[in-house]
Amino acid sequence: MSAQTVSRNAVPTSPIPIDEIDLKRHPKGVMRWVVLVVLGILGLIIVAPILLLVMDAFKSNADYSANGPLSWPEGFSLEGFKAYMEVVNYPRALLNSIVISALVAAFGVVLSLMSAYAIGIGRIKGGTAMLTILLLATMVPQEALIYPLFYGAQATHTINTVWSVIIVFTILQAAYGTYLLSSVMSTLPMSLLEAAALDGAGRWRTLWSVIFPLVRGTMSVLMVFFFIWTWNEFYIPLVLLSGQDSQTVPIAIATLQGQNAVNVTAMNAGSLLSLLPTLVFFLIFQRTLTKGVTLGAVK
């Protein structure tokens, strides 16, 4: 082969101009910065109300009246917290909220597992219709349910007790949990159930030895959501829990609002105190929540 042929077919080794490389990378770099700026703005929009809440909670009434809600506090004041504690029995309300939310989360997840096992694994006749009814039940406004719930609590003598709210929200949360878990269970291969049956496992053992490990991640996510959703509930507890000893944290905050005046700093302080337990709960179970979402996506 001649030297001319080799030189004609050889790949050019000259470097690509830097300007050409920048032109190729420039659009992608611009889009990356645009995405970062948009995400930063959205993050500020989400965090701004919490920052304002913290700022106003540590203001004095005079500071708030003179400078408004958007100014930086002139000093570190606990006046709002003291006023809140004088009006509200916060330790009792906090205990009620923790007990109600924790029991609803635990009972709701267990009830969801049992119901979903019958519908998703048992594949009972009319299972799709049941799931549709459960899904529609979660969409019914609480205002439409409050009268039968109130008279039912009166008839069972659970009115003004935490058990009235625990029973109601366990059923409401379990309706959504049953829909979600049954959808997950219906995708599991029947070969797992057949293998468990060949090994002599009954329905109860199949549930806890085969099904439960597969849906444990989804159940952990549901438990976290059930706790937070129940903690933030206001309307039904307001009607069913009228006594001060049975009030939850959101209801206790509402008692600060008078007919003609509102202690804004005390309300901000109470709102901050009500927000802290849910943040602590979320931080504690953040790894469990992330792991549960990841496992559910993989399965």
pLDDT of residue 7: 47
- The band of 258, judged by pLDDT with boundaries at 50, 70 and 90, is low
At the top level of CATH, the class of 89-297 is: mainly alpha
Domain residue extents for the chain: 33-76, 89-297
Alpha-helical segments (H) within the chain: 3-9, 18-57, 61-67, 79-87, 90-116, 127-137, 142-155, 162-185, 190-198, 203-206, 212-231, 235-240, 249-254, 264-284, 286-298
pLDDT of residue 264: 87
Strand partners, 257: 262
Q: Annotate 205-225 with DSSP letters as a single string.
A: HHIIIIIHHHHHHHHHHHHHH
| pLDDT, tens only, 47-72 | 998 899 999 999 998 998 888 888 88
pLDDT of residue 27: 62
Residue 259 scores a pLDDT above 80: no
Q: Give percent of the chain above pLDDT 70.
A: 85
pLDDT, average across residues 169-191? 89
Q: Which of 230, 228, 196, 229 is nearest to 212 (CA)?
A: 196
| pLDDT, tens only, 201-257 | 888 888 888 899 889 888 988 999 999 999 999 999 999 998 888 899 999 888 887
pLDDT of residue 153: 92
Question: 3-state class of 257 per DSSP?
Answer: strand
**What pTM, to 2 d.p., does this model score?**
0.81
Residue 295 scores a pLDDT above 60: no
Contact call for residues 156 and 93 (beta carbons, < 8 A): no
Question: 3-state class of 80 per DSSP?
Answer: helix
Strand partners, 262: 257
pLDDT, average across residues 146-158? 92
